[in-house]
Homo-oligomer: A and B are copies of this chain.
Amino acid sequence: MFLPVTLGRASEEIVLQVEAAILDGRLAPGERLPSERDMQVQFGAGRGVIREAIKTLQQKGLLAVRKGAKGGAFVRSLEVANVSESLALFLKQHPVSPETLIEFRETMDRAITVLAIARGSKADKEALLAGARRLESLLRESGPDLAATDELDRSLNLRLARMAANPLFEWVMSALQMGFSSHDYALYADPVFREKAAANWSDTAQAIAANEPARALSFIGHHYVLLRQCVESRSERSGPVEAPFLNEPSD
């Protein structure tokens, strides 16, 4: 199955061969690669080289390694999480302004909303509306559980993206969401903004459920107006934002 290596960086050569085998489908997800000592023979390379190649493929998310008997390197199906991780790392080194993120998300949200109205099932739309209402009521409590509301907010966004029936939108949105751990920014703390945003979520969901794209987009716009106001008031209070302030309380 594999050929001995001769060229430059041996481990890179191995990575390419295995990666190609996986992407071609010659190695299916769940399948087990030979043991390191076997590959050492098949590739005609030292074990260290094999291990470095496996390390790289592991980092790429293509392999998972278990130790012990019946262990070894197993082909993995790539998850959005891998992409998110990579994006998150990038954003940590290149903090983007809140406005940059808001701008991008607003674009995506508008496109997704239109598609979701056109393609989402009745059940989807009702579930979305129910979720939005639930979020609203959760936020109306005194001392709301911010972690829970944040989680609900994320799941609603994800559900909406899924309703668009285009996996690319879904993947990009979830990469953005997962890229930033929620505890980094507690914009949620602002009670005034919180209530308006939650009510707006319900309005949006209702417009979507009623198949009213114009109204829905209008509410989406309102959401981002609120968000921008909130960011602005926050940066006034605490000086310029340095940390990547990347999630919205309730969009």
Contact = CB atoms under 8 A, between A and B. Distances in A.
Nearest to A22: B93
Contacts of A166: 100, 103-104
Assign chain A's interface to a size class: 35 or more
Interface stretch (A80-88, A122-130, A139-147, A216-224): A80-88
B23 A101 contact: no
Interface stretch (A37-45, A53-61, A148-156): A53-61
A173 to B, nearest CB: 11
A56 to B, nearest CB: 5
Interface string A1-35: 00000000001000000000011000000000000
A125 to B, nearest CB: 20
A94 interface: yes
Given A55-B55, A101-B168, A169-B104, A86 B82 contact: yes
A11 B100 CA distance: 35
Copies of this chain: 2
Interface in A173-193: 175-176
Given A56-B59, A59-B60, A104-B168, A82 B90 contact: yes
Contacts of A104: 166, 168-169
A210 interface: no
Interface string A67-80: 00000000001101
Contacts of A176: 168
A226 interface: no
A220 B91 CA distance: 29
Nearest to A176: B168
A238 interface: no
Interface centre among A48, A55, A61, A78 (most CB of B within 10 A): A55
A115 B56 CA distance: 37
Contacts of A11: 55
Nearest to A15: B59
A85 B90 CA distance: 12
A96 interface: yes
A133 interface: no
B167 A100 contact: yes
Nearest to A84: B86
A196 interface: no
A171 interface: yes
B83 A90 contact: yes
